[in-house]
Amino acid sequence: MDSIPLVHASLGEQELAAVAEVFASGWPAGQGPRGKALEAQLAERFEVAGAVALSNCGVALHLALLALGVGPGDEVIVSDYSFPAPAHAVRYLDAVPVFADVRADTATVDPRSVADLITPRTVGVIVVDTVGLPADYAELNALAERHGLFVVEDAACSVGATYQGRPAGALAPVACLSFHGRKGATSGEGGALLAADPAVAAHARLRSSFGITNIFDQARVVGLPISTFTEIGYNYKLSDIAAAILQVQLSRLGEFLERRCAVAARYAELLAGEELLTLPRVPADRTHAWQSYLVALDAGTDRAAVAAELRGQGIGCGHGTWASHRQPVFESKQTCPVSADLFERHLAIPMHAELTMDQVERVATALRSAVRAHSGPSRTPGGAA
């Protein structure tokens, strides 16, 4: 029987043609004409003052914190239930990541937890749109404004989602996007920083290229311009090859999102009423980008055994995401009980735009059978999703 991968990128002839154009142009490196065109496309799409194309979302987070003035000893509150890139970015600057617990129903950061963690050393909050679902930005932005804190939106998973009618990526003054292979729009690897303040974007662009101005532009100047290095910078540029792919991918994003939403809706129909599973909840004021589809297993279920059975049938699956505070690298003494519980019980099942409805039905049937075969007495905490 054919395998059903957990993730699968929707890349085809249009993207190949765009890459061929870059090859013919003679400029495959970063910050060339395709990179500039992508940045303009992003700025227009998200209605922001500045967009910077970058090599991945992790470096976008790093540059965002640099531009916002984060320094040694500062505390930055980060969503705990997430790939731990935000906490890594905080540590790059010798600052302190403080982990905020999440809501049990949506797995997005809990504004009450954020409020409880604010101290005189707190300078800002990195809010993660968990696996594609935007967080509670009305509350979080208001809370940050009251305390004079910055807010950065980690929209790595949520391109295509909305919150109160606004697109994810434009829900905070600074946002960071990912175009990794499992995202709704992808160039294999890639990212972007979006900023309402053009000065933040300009700072990020300069630091992303070793602290010097655009080499492509300088190469077109008559004479011999010589760059001057005035800032310590990094090589965080996105190649024009990847930028060309992303221009096509963003133009197809509506198509991809429609397919993912159809998959999510069918999963909801097929798995409804299964007492051993809790399905994703999407509040009425927002939409989901469905980067991932996570189900929470009953606490009496042997998740490893369920995963082994699914994989034995050629069905990809994963653990969901991470309870960041439990990762040894951060040496955190905090507890985030909801995040820790979801880390133990979530299971990611196949979600991408190339799934057929027959495959979705096969996944749902296999999952129902596996959880029933590997469940014991329930220990699910009350209210956990």
DSSP string, 304-317: HHHHHHHHHTTB--
What are the tens digits of pLDDT across the range 223-256? Answer: 777 888 888 999 999 999 999 999 999 999 999 9
Report pTM.
Answer: 0.94
Q: 353-360: long-range contacts at Cβ-Cβ below 8 A with a sequence spacing of 24 or more?
A: 353/8, 353/10, 353/184, 353/255, 353/256, 353/259, 353/260, 354/8, 354/10, 354/259, 355/4, 355/8, 355/259, 355/263, 357/262, 357/266, 359/4, 360/263, 360/266, 360/267, 360/270
- Of residues 262 and 27, more confidently modeled: 262
> Is it the case that residue 381 has pLDDT exceeding 70?
no
- 163 phi and psi, to 5 degrees? -140, 120
Alpha carbon distance, N-terminus to C-terminus of the chain: 32
Q: How confident is the model at residue 384 (pLDDT cuts 50, 70, 90)?
A: very low
CA 306 to chain centre: 26
Q: What average pLDDT does this structure show over 99-118?
A: 98
Region 340-351: what's the mean pLDDT?
Answer: 98
- Look over the chain and give the mean of its residue pLDDT values, rounded to a whole number: 95
Residue 102 has pLDDT above 80, yes or no: yes
Which of the four pLDDT bands, split at 50, 70 and 90, describes residue 219?
A: low
- pLDDT value at position 224? 77
| In the chain, alpha helices (H) | 13-25, 33-46, 57-67, 85-92, 111-117, 137-147, 198-207, 215-219, 240-251, 253-271, 303-312, 337-345, 357-373
Q: What is the pLDDT of residue 239?
A: 96
> pLDDT at residue 222 above 90?
no
At 211, the pLDDT band (50, 70, 90 cuts) reads confident
Of the given ranges (33-42, 169-178, 208-217), which has the lowest mean pLDDT? Answer: 208-217
pLDDT digits (tens, 9 = 90+) for 73-82: 999 999 999 9
For residue 325, pLDDT over 50 is answered with yes
* Percent of the chain whose pLDDT exceeds 70: 96
pLDDT digits (tens, 9 = 90+) for 266-283: 999 999 999 999 999 999
Query: What confidence tens digit (pLDDT) does each residue in 35-55 have?
Result: 999 999 999 999 999 999 999
